[in-house]
Structure 1
Amino acid sequence: MELRTLRAFAEVARRGSFTLAAEHLFVTQPTVSKLVRQLEDELGQQLFVREGKRPRLTDAGSVALAHAERMLADASQLRAELDGLSGLARGELRIGVPSLGGRVFVALISEFKRHYPGVELKLFEDGAIAIEAALLAGELELGGLLRPVDDPRYQTLTLVRDRLALIAPARSAWAHRPRIALAELADEPFILFTPGFALNDRIVSACADAGFAPQVTGRSGQLGLIQAMVRGGIGVALLPTSEIAASARDGLAVCELEADIPWEIALAWSRDGYLSHAARAWLALAQARYPDA
């Protein structure tokens, strides 16, 4: 049983798609299908029901997934410990970088590479939900999560504190309103994030507190595309203020919300897991840069 087949199987289960799994693994979709079929043949069990648009785990698939995740985590732990023996002259560091908030990682990446050029940084870019799943599976040593992080399995360091603001088309009714109540947006079409973003739940919950459910007209995990969709009049969106770059505000109205919807990104790592020398060096740099967090 090869780790490659286990990784392909676990990625399809996590993402609910052979195509998305292939994109994440940087292989073709037929390759992923072949690897999963190879694992099914080896185990003598069907692992997925391939009906409809999304593959579903069979009972055997659910059992296999639990074992596969443990085996992948063990393999990852083995690599981390062996890399740690060689110090920081070589090795790799696997970090989950959230699609929103990625800019806060840039300065850390630059500083880390100046100090430790021999360590390869492998960046996993996705929403906080997907990053947390990868942390739990042992595929990442460090990852950016959306606060609050209540899981006792993690230790955390806050990197950025911010709040959400409204962006709307520059010619909309909100263009001359510097501050609005969230309830005023009840009839507006919303552009939300793709399912891997924990911020979706934060926005939906805030809207519910304001007395309405947002009318979702589109979703994206790309900040630039969301802003372009808003400029095009497709809908409005709620984004962290610090992520709305001044250079990208043309064609947009930016309004402060009376409702305080916090957005905080924390660097998280396993409380009881092994941290490589590279991960510990990254944490030392982060703690020095954000001493008050």
Structure 2
Amino acid sequence: MDIKQLRALIAVADTGSVTRAASLLHIVQPAVSRQLRLLEEDVGTALFARGRYGMEVTQAGAMFVEHARRALAELDRARSELRVSEGVSGTVTVGLLPSTCDLLASNLVAEVASRYPAIRLRVLMGYTGTLQNWLEQNETDAALLYDPKPSPVLAVTPLVEERLWIVGLPEAGFVADEPVALADVAHLPMILPNAPHGIRSLVEQTCVNAGIELTVAAETNAMSVQKGLVSGGHGVTILPGIAIADDLTAGRLSAAPLADSLLSRRIVLAMPNNRRVAAAVRCVVDLLVAQIGEAVRGGAWTTAQLLQEATGGAQ
């Protein structure tokens, strides 16, 4: 088993075709087929089923592909750290929550490119459960998470706390400086994230504690769909303020903070504590934490409150 075989495995799994994989790897098709054959002989099982619609990954193959991805990611990371180059270098993978991407991703990419041109930055987006899983499997170097489940392999640093908002069409008349109690809007058709999304769990627990019964009109696993359904007149939703800042400015939606004290989310920086933190990772994380602090203090993230002085020195 060698690196060429693993790269061929992943390329075929991603493209579903030996021909397309060969093009992607810039080698001839017979070479890809040979790499797969040698790999299957080495592991002693079929990794693909050759069907009429292309190369379909078997159950064993799917498991092996995930291991191969992690192995190659670790090798790429090690190669980057060992490569002699000017300044800090390496590949850094950062995970961001959907609600924070628009605010942070572009500036982070620009800052890293300007200050650390030898760093290759990968920005992934996902909900907390997905990002935490990637962190625990060493597929991500750092991530912003919303109230993650306790994990012995993660070190977390609280960064900001943000109140949740009730969101509706402009004619709903919600006003930013007039908090609304959840009980007063519980009768409205509600569009909520699917369980076990963190916000859904928080809202449901608040309802149980207060004896409130919501009218759930629809569920979705995408924040953009939540807002789209509200815009389409299907009901109201509950989101963090940063997720609707542009919509409020453009007048597409109206919103008000929920008055219930428990309806707020805490965002933390999470990093694996079971491996050494590379210099490149530390540099990117410091930039990310500093940008969050600047966004809150500068008014770009008006709905958040800093839980520590985010100046770029996260521990």
| TM surpasses 0.5 | yes
Tell me the secondary structure at the aligned position of residue 171 of structure 2: coil
Equivalent in 287, 301, 308 of residue 285 of structure 1: 287
Equivalent residue letter for 1:264: R
Tell me the secondary structure at the aligned position of residue 73 of structure 2: helix
Alignment of 1:204-215 (within 5 A): 204-210=204-210, 211-213=212-214, 215=216
The alpha carbon displacement at 1:8 in A equals: 8.3
The alpha carbon displacement at 1:175 in A equals: 6.8
Q: Are 2:132 and 2:148, in contact at CA under 8 Å, matched by a contact in 1?
A: no
Alignment of 1:114-263 (within 5 A): 114-172=114-172, 178-193=178-193, 197-210=197-210, 211-213=212-214, 215-219=216-220, 221-223=222-224, 225-245=225-245, 248-249=248-249, 250-259=251-260, 260-263=262-265
| Residues in 2 aligned to 1:178 and 1:207: alpha-carbon distance in whole angstroms | 21
Partner in structure 2 of residue 2 of structure 1: 6
Tell me the secondary structure at the aligned position of residue 94 of structure 1: strand
* 1:127-169 CA-partner distances (Å, limit 9, x unpaired): 2221112212221111121125522311223343211010112
User: Does 2:278 align with 1:276?
Assistant: yes
Q: Which has the larger radius of gyration?
A: 2
The alpha carbon displacement at 1:236 in A equals: 0.8
User: Does 2:79 align with 1:96?
Assistant: no
Structure 1 residues 274 and 292, CA gap change in structure 2 (3 angstroms): same
Equivalent residue letter for 2:129: I
Tell me the secondary structure at the aligned position of residue 172 of structure 2: coil
- TM-score between the two structures when normalised by the length of structure 1: 0.70
| Residues in 2 aligned to 1:188 and 1:8: alpha-carbon distance in whole angstroms | 49
Partner in structure 1 of residue 75 of structure 2: 78
Structure 1 residues 94 and 207, CA gap change in structure 2 (3 angstroms): same
| Residues in 2 aligned to 1:281 and 1:270: alpha-carbon distance in whole angstroms | 16
Q: Give unmatched runs, 5+ long, in structure 1.
A: 10-24, 49-59
Tell me the secondary structure at the aligned position of residue 122 of structure 1: strand
- TM-score between the two structures when normalised by the length of structure 2: 0.66
Tell me the secondary structure at the aligned position of residue 155 of structure 2: strand
Residue identity (%)? 19
Equivalent residue letter for 2:309: D
Aligned residues: 260
Q: Give unmatched runs, 5+ long, in structure 2.
A: 22-35, 50-57, 294-307, 311-315
The alpha carbon displacement at 1:190 in A equals: 2.0
* 1:168-214 CA-partner distances (Å, limit 9, x unpaired): 12223757993322123333222223679533333333333343255
Tell me the secondary structure at the aligned position of residue 100 of structure 2: coil
* 1:208-251 CA-partner distances (Å, limit 9, x unpaired): 3343255141425244x533421321111111123321553514
| Residues in 1 aligned to 2:167 and 2:269: alpha-carbon distance in whole angstroms | 27
Alignment of 1:19-38 (within 5 A): 27=15, 30-31=16-17
Structure 1 residues 287 and 154, CA gap change in structure 2 (3 angstroms): same
Q: Are 2:136 and 2:154, in contact at CA under 8 Å, matched by a contact in 1?
A: no
Equivalent residue letter for 2:92: L
| Residues in 1 aligned to 2:47 and 2:215: alpha-carbon distance in whole angstroms | 40
Q: Are 1:108 and 1:286, in contact at CA under 8 Å, matched by a contact in 2?
A: yes
